[in-house]
Structure 1
């Protein structure tokens, strides 16, 4: 199991790896401070600067593809931080940099049109965004519980700060609720870490994998760790904070949060299960049951939602359920089944991240164009705002799981894994989830094609904002045609089982 996560590198890290990783973590922070100082007004300038961390990630990709998995220890005073880079890490780093570049390029136009510099939050957006990106990168790289905890806390605080930026009463109430629940999740996670440290005297994942022994202490620790992480990931039934937070958040913030932030908690949880309790099949089925409930309940709530952003937010709850199916398909199954499920899980994560970011940006554009938050208010949008609606529709193709999108390929792999394992309930979950996804997407399109629509109070929106949403949607669609590249990346660097 550890080999899948790149925790068993047998050779020292190549020269320059540590320096580039520190650059990768520090650049977003520096760029965030510069953004707060200069307040960029053009997305092109932001996009050009945001390419720098992407170039650092590309250099790491070259090194790992040549020399294999890289693992090393970074000494910070008396603390030893364990880091590693493998195919999975690189895939998540590339996804983070690409989505951050898109959201950051979208933000200046959004601030001009939607915020109009009335809020002081426009300046705070950039350092908080930089902190979030740096903390996400740290989570992908971390190979010990202390570093994971630091990254998780920094990410959570930055996410709460971003949610509070609108400054109105609804945003403050939703943000404070999010903060309270995030702190509860952090406390549970920290208690679990303390139990592991007290029981076995170490925090590095590779060492814990060989040291821990089954028993009440391990199960209590895993229960606390899992509860805290699933709360932060908005997994059913710990999801109630998600929709209110996104309803009031700025659009580029919602896009990054749904695409990346909740995925980080899922990544940590799955990693800990594979390392510490790789044979806990019964408990994994319970998590799969939570995923089933998430798919059904989230889909029904998205179908019933009255507001456009609520549709997309509840869709996130539903789609996260597919990722939770990774637990019963990876734990307690044969190596062949686990290999297929491993590929399907991470391709589903990438496909959902691209499609959900595109969908939030397209929905934000529709809201800005029309001045309407309600789904019913989109009547006639197909004639007046075809590009925004096209972006939403292309993203929905991957979300529903239609060919040739990456969402289709990922669900096909999960379906294959469930068939190979003889886990028939997950086949039903995939089928019902697909139908529910189509239902809430087609409901939104039904209103947009109503011909006798009233005249909108139109608002002018920069064309670049539509273009960014369209590019992300196309990426989610076309990735299905070249899915062998991300899957090959995992196996190329020792990330596959």
Structure 2
């Protein structure tokens, strides 16, 4: 481990340089080479993420690197704390699984002409990985804007790889919402820079605590509105279900598991790291209300779907809602005052665990739906009778991932929702508890529709699959589902790693909470 300490700066740079170089090299050499380069990059990128996570855990402090030796605001700094280390590792694992799964769909065998879709998929996957890494380790709001734009412009083409008119229409709708979000985000960045002369999050947080400006709150609200459009939170969700409808299964997996989490992470940073808590306590209730609406609205619409892939897409809308319940629970004065004590606040841990467990579960479900469509020739829920005898491993994986979405023990989703329920009880916000429980009932209802048909129908003889499905692809789907399940078996003490790099932020938050003069400067 000591040998890795001296390489910490190089590892942080490698998070960005490795996928970008692989993307450019693959694009230059063509589809067949792009596939091979991507498959070699997957384990290397995973090793880098593991090494960084191990370093953060070993040192008990965040890793920081000022690029070129120039500190902010003149330079750009990279930072990995406990939370970003967990998200970097989650991203690496999911993308590695998606890449291995996608070989059968986007491979270019020897002697076969290269296809445009194959070249596009592998280069876009690597670019998307680089963008997510940049989001999770960036500290400068403008550079984070560049990262989130790169994320958008790699995700949108993945949606329309099939090239049908419906896919192009869905991609254009996605692009329209994303560009609207970009404009709002950039307006907020301009306001903050004009008011404080820096865009480094740590420096901005200190400046806002010392001298409150109304522009700070206006800027963050604008940026949040833009990021909500990219996250597809209800009512800005209209682009997400159509985008999933015709996208390849691998593209849907990264879109639902990772892409929408990148913009959510920036919202997380804006309200919990940049602004003092009293700025956000009222708005946090609004974000929580939108999250509750997403949970209930997405769950009801998922129940009404006739296609499996669309059911999973609307399930994503609902599960994203749980993430926004974190804001009113974490920004509660009860939670903030307890945060300086021992342990990580339950709402904080529950929110991160929900984010990570949902990423693995939803990647597994979308890729499993892709295998079902290959084997059965369709994904119509009412006609999946006897699927358990055709793809037993895939259906098992789907059921295990569903346990996490429902919040049943011993899954990661159960631990996440239990911690959110506990936070609601401790802070006296019982209304969010009702939403969480109601969301679990809706999730169980739409998952039961699928499992009841696929597991217990179909007559005496099993339906004959139209195309064989490689067992290796089923095992990848099962592996991701098992990760989402096994997260719930980890002891809560293991999540203390999430607190690394946040101790000073929590102390500053409590100090700000006890200074009503600052609140008065913003709310006359």
SS of 1:80's equivalent in the other structure is: coil
How far apart, CA to CA, are the structure 2 residues paired with 1:45 and 1:447? Answer: 41
Which of 490, 511, 519 matches 1:482? 490
> Match for residue 63 of structure 2?
70
Per-residue deviation, 1:378: 1.1
The one-character-per-residue Cα deviations of 1:375-434 (angstroms, maximum 9, x if unpaired) are 112122122221111111111011111100011001111110000000011010111000
Partner deviation per Cα, 1:82-130 (whole Å, 9 max, x = no partner): 22111111101100100010000011113369xx989521111111111
CA distance in 1, matches of 2:88, 2:373: 31
Distance in 1 separating the partners of 2:305 and 2:113: 30
CA distance in structure 2 between the partners assigned to 1:26 and 1:391 by the alignment = 34
**Structure 2 CA distance for partners of 1:285 and 1:385, relative to 1, 3 Å:** same
1:30 matched to which residue of 2? 21
8 Å Cα contact 2:26/2:37 also seen in 1: no
Gaps of 5+ in 2: 507-524
Deviations 1:437-456 (A, max 9, x none): 00000011122122338945
- Structure 1 CA distance for aligned equivalents of residues 107 and 465 of structure 2: 18
Alpha-carbon deviation of 1:43?
A: 9.4
Q: Distance in 2 between matches of 1:465 and 1:386?
A: 13
Give secondary structure in 2 for the equivalent of 1:322. helix
Kindly indicate whether the alpha-carbon contact (under 8 Å) linking 2:292 and 2:435 is maintained by their aligned counterparts in 1. yes
CA contact (8 A) 2:404 2:411 kept: yes
Higher mean Cα deviation, 216-225 or 484-493? 484-493
| Residues 429-483 of structure 1: per-residue CA shift (max 9 Å, x gap) | 1110000000000011122122338945521122111110000001111111125
**Residues 44-99 of structure 1 deviation map (CA, whole Å, 9 limit, x = unaligned):** 99655411011112222233233322223224999511221111111011001000
How has the CA–CA distance of structure 1 residues 132 and 42 changed in structure 2, closer, same or farther, with 3 Å as cutoff? closer
Query: Secondary structure in 2 aligned to 1:479?
Result: helix
Q: Secondary structure at the match of 2:333?
A: coil
Distance 2:36 2:478 in 1: 16
Q: Deviations over 1:289-333 (max 9, x none)?
A: 000100000001111011111000000000000000011011133
Contact in 1 for aligned 2:390/2:462 (Cα 8 Å): no
CA distance in 2, matches of 1:45, 1:223: 41
Please report the TM-score for the alignment, with normalisation by the length of structure 1. Answer: 0.91
Task: Report which stretch shifted further, 81-90 or 348-357.
Answer: 81-90
Name the residue aligned to 1:108: 103
List per-residue Cα deviations over 1:168-190 (Å, max 9, x = no partner): 11111101111111111001000
Q: Counterpart in 2 of 1:136?
A: 132
Alignment RMSD (CA, Å)? 2.5
Matched, 1:306 2:314: no
Cα drift, residue 237 of structure 1:
0.7
Which residue pairs with 1:271 in the alignment?
Answer: 269
Corresponding residue for residue 473 of structure 1: 481
More displaced stretch, 477-486 vs 281-290: 477-486
Distance 1:74 1:339, change over 3 A: same
Checking the alignment, whether the CA contact within 8 Å between 1:300 and 1:436 is kept in structure 2 is yes
Q: Counterpart in 1 of 2:513?
A: none
Mean Cα displacement is larger for which, 131-140 or 54-63? 54-63
* Map of 2:370 onto structure 1: 364
**Residues 340 and 485 of structure 1: CA distance in aligned 2, closer, same or farther (over 3 Å):** closer
- Specify whether residues 247 and 381 from structure 1 end up closer, same or farther in structure 2 by C-alpha distance, changes over 3 A only: same
Partner of 1:384: 390
Q: Secondary structure at the match of 2:380?
A: coil
Q: Retained in 1: the 8 A contact 2:35–2:107?
A: no
Please give the residue correspondences for 1:11-410 in structure 2 after superposition, counting only pairs within 5 Å.
15-35=6-26, 37=29, 39=31, 49-67=41-59, 68-75=61-68, 80-111=75-106, 120-212=116-208, 213-274=211-272, 275-279=274-278, 280-334=280-334, 335=336, 336=338, 339-410=345-416
The alignment of Structure 1 onto Structure 2 pairs a total of residues equal to 483
Q: Distance in 1 between matches of 2:33 and 2:378?
A: 25
**Cα 1:377/1:317, change in 2 over 3 Å:** same
Q: TM-score when scaled to structure 2?
A: 0.87
* CA shift in 2, pair 1:17/1:443, >3 Å: same
Residues 119 and 166 in structure 1, CA contact (< 8 A), matched pair in contact too: no
CA distance in 2, matches of 1:149, 1:49: 25
Higher mean Cα deviation, 120-129 or 422-431? 120-129
Alignment gaps of 5+ in structure 1 = 1-12
What residue is the counterpart of 1:4 in the other structure?
none
* Distance in 2 separating the partners of 1:248 and 1:187: 27
| Deviation for aligned residue 1:493 | 5.7
2:54 is paired with a residue whose SS is: helix
In the aligned structure 1, how far is the partner of 2:57 from the partner of 2:415?
A: 24
C-alpha distance in structure 2 between counterparts of 1:455 and 1:471, whole Å: 26
8 Å CA contact 2:229, 2:236 repeated in 1: yes
Is the 2:295–2:439 contact (alpha carbons within 8 Å) kept by the matching residues of 1? yes
